[in-house]
Structure 1
Amino acid sequence: MIRPRLGVVGCPRRALALTDTPRPDCPDCDGTGGIEHPYGDETGEYAGSDWELCPCWTGRRVVLLPLPRRPRWLRRRADYRDPWGPAGYSDEPPF
């Protein structure tokens, strides 16, 4: 049974996608979609985790439509060399 939801994916371009969600009452993964297996290095310290997908979740997604890019004139980038900042005012005293 598929439990669809809408999501935004970003590879290679942002798009709206229909994704499957894990089963919330799964006894194996408790609804997280996978089982985490932490492991340690030779000293016994935590070194990371392996993630095993649960069979209740396929993790598939179907891209519905690509999202439009913002026009170049609408993109805002903060220029930190500007003393007035991106908001148009300054925290500096006037003299």
Structure 2
Amino acid sequence: MRLRIQHTTWTRPALILTDTPRPNCPRCEGDGGHNRDYGDYETGEYAGTEWEPCSCWDETRRWTLLPLPRMPRRRTAWRDPWETGGYSDEPPF
């Protein structure tokens, strides 16, 4: 098991500990899986891509280390700091 720390915002902000793919895996070469393109049966045209994870790691293995507080959003409206209300005493340059 090769662990790393990640930041997640899903459900609530937190620091999590996750598993990573084995870097010297002969099947996936450290990518953690393979992309497989597939097409329609009738026409043979491209229809999408599927991700096939490798057995050298588990994508769902994760532990919450530290829940982080939600930062309140600013409620102030954005104002242009150079705006003077439409009138200026300065000559144009």
Q: TM-score, normalised by structure 2?
A: 0.72
d(CA) in 1 for partners of 2:14, 2:27: 31
Deviations 1:44-77 (A, max 9, x none): 33221111111101121101111111134xx378
Q: Percent identity?
A: 55
Q: CA deviation at 1:4?
A: 0.6
Q: Which residue of structure 2 aligns with residue 13 of structure 1?
A: 12
Matched residue pairs, number? Answer: 83
d(CA) in 2 for partners of 1:26, 1:19: 18
**Rg larger for:** 2
Relative contact order higher in (CA < 8 Å, ≥ 6 apart): 2
User: Where does 1:60-79 land on structure 2 (aligned, <5 Å)?
Assistant: 60-72=61-73, 75=74, 79=78
Tell me, yes or no, if the aligned pair for 2:12 and 2:70 is still in contact at 8 Å.
no
Q: Which residue of structure 2 aligns with residue 22 of structure 1?
A: 21
Unaligned runs of 5+ in 1: none
Q: After the TM superposition, which of the residue ranges 18-27 and 37-46 deviates more from structure 2? A: 37-46
Deviations 1:7-66 (A, max 9, x none): 012221111000010011111111111121111124333221111111101121101111
Unaligned runs of 5+ in 2: none
d(CA) in 2 for partners of 1:25, 1:13: 34
Letter in 2 for 1:17: I
